[in-house]
Amino acid sequence: MPAGRYAPSPTGRLHVGNLRTGMLAWIAARASGRPFLLRVEDLDRVRSGAEEEQLAELAAVGITWDAEPVRQSERTALYADAVAALRARFGEDAVYECYCSRKDIAEASSAPNGPAGQHDDGPSSASPAPLRPPGFYPGTCRNLSAAERVRRRAERPAALRVDAARIEGLPSGQFPEASARDLLHGTVTGLVDDVVLRRNDGAYAYNLAVVVDDLEQGVDQVVRGDDLLDSAPRQRWLAEALCVARGDDCPDTEYLHVPLVVNAEGRRLAKRDGAVTLEDLAAVGAPANLSAVGERVRDVMLASVGLPAGPLEDAVAVFDPRALPRRAWVFDETAFTA
């Protein structure tokens, strides 16, 4: 069944920006008749007790969910199956080992065209390398020989990358183009490089995990901060590749990338900006009860996007994603404590 979702990472307490995005995800799901799911994205750093704190904070602003929350740390078999499906459908080399460090990639990316189309054992062809957008993976490990891989494994654990050009049937080193449909920003189009599927520490990468989870859970509405807008085409491409690999129909996912909450300097809101969590705000003058301060914060957040104060259910009937502001909302602690 089609669904919406919110997927926090349990690294600490949720701040006002996190809660505002979660609130909008809930309202968007309810307004479209979708169930709302909660997913704990705990593949990376996790602080003990943070998940329980976050669930309480979400509940305090009126967010509910329609199924038991799932945890990515308990779903790694699904991610391994996805990698295997890509290899089975597109060939073993469709997913390849990469031994590059971040420094290696940064240094290669600083060159105008760097080693795109080249490898440690020499150029892959006599044709010129394709132009590579800044920050894209240069393809250093894409076509290493078996002997070279054995040597590199002894030096550094391998990450796994997907060969985007191979999956699309393009010449090696070319970058496929993909598009995603956003309710606020329209069609977003971008190029796709060789996305990391599993990091060299053995943890599955965010881009793979989020795509696999959304497909498996039936999520076809993704609401999140607009700092992730550029990731949407890449994730849409990976979802379509996985659906082809498995012989499944790919859902027509709609995205809604909402503006962030920022501090007075225009930077993304962070703990350094003072009272930014429900617990912080309760400590500086708002009601001490988490539920009471949650209601106050909820009303201010609703007003910031032009929705009526009160229970979130009251906002559902008048919610129009295309009417949301596109500019970041500047955090003002006094709005919550007055």
User: Is residue 129 located within the same domain as residue 227?
Assistant: yes
pLDDT digits (tens, 9 = 90+) for 170-224: 999 899 999 999 999 999 999 999 999 999 999 999 999 999 999 999 999 999 9
Of all helices (H) and strands (E), which one includes residue 316? helix 312-316
Is 83 within the bounds of a domain? no
User: Is residue 101 located within the same domain as residue 225?
Assistant: yes
The two beta strands, 118-119 and 122-123, are: antiparallel
* pTM: predicted TM-score of the whole model, two decimal places: 0.90
Is 266 within the bounds of a domain? yes
User: Is residue 199 located within the same domain as residue 293?
Assistant: no
Task: Give Cα separations from 5 to 13, 66, 104 (angstroms).
Answer: 19, 10, 36
- Where are the strands (E) in 201-297, listed by range? 219-225, 254-258, 261-262
User: Is residue 107 located within the same domain as residue 134?
Assistant: yes
Cα–Cα distance measured from residue 277 to residue 20, given in angstroms and rounded to the nearest whole number:
11
Of 171, 175, 167, nearest in space to 137 by CA: 175
Which band of pLDDT confidence, cut at 50, 70 and 90, is reported for residue 288? low
- Where are the strands (E) in the chain, listed by range? 3-6, 36-40, 70-71, 95-98, 118-119, 122-123, 159-162, 177-182, 186-191, 196-198, 219-225, 254-258, 261-262, 329-330
Our count of domains for the chain comes to: 2
Is 249 within the bounds of a domain? no
Q: Are 115 and 188 in contact (CB under 8 A)?
A: no
Cα–Cα distance measured from residue 316 to residue 280, given in angstroms and rounded to the nearest whole number:
28
User: Is residue 59 located within the same domain as residue 109?
Assistant: no
Can you give the residue range of the structural domain that contains 20? Answer: 3-73+259-337
Which band of pLDDT confidence, cut at 50, 70 and 90, is reported for residue 334? confident
pLDDT digits (tens, 9 = 90+) for 116-150: 333 333 334 444 455 778 788 999 999 999 999 99
How confident is the model over 1-8, as a mean pLDDT?
Answer: 94
User: Is residue 225 located within the same domain as residue 97?
Assistant: yes
Which residue type sits at 326? R
145: domain CATH number is 3.40.50.620
Is 78 within the bounds of a domain? no
Provide the pLDDT for residue 126: 40
User: Is residue 99 located within the same domain as residue 127?
Assistant: yes
pLDDT digits (tens, 9 = 90+) for 305-328: 999 999 999 999 999 999 999 999
Provide the pLDDT for residue 271: 77
User: Is residue 112 located within the same domain as residue 198?
Assistant: yes
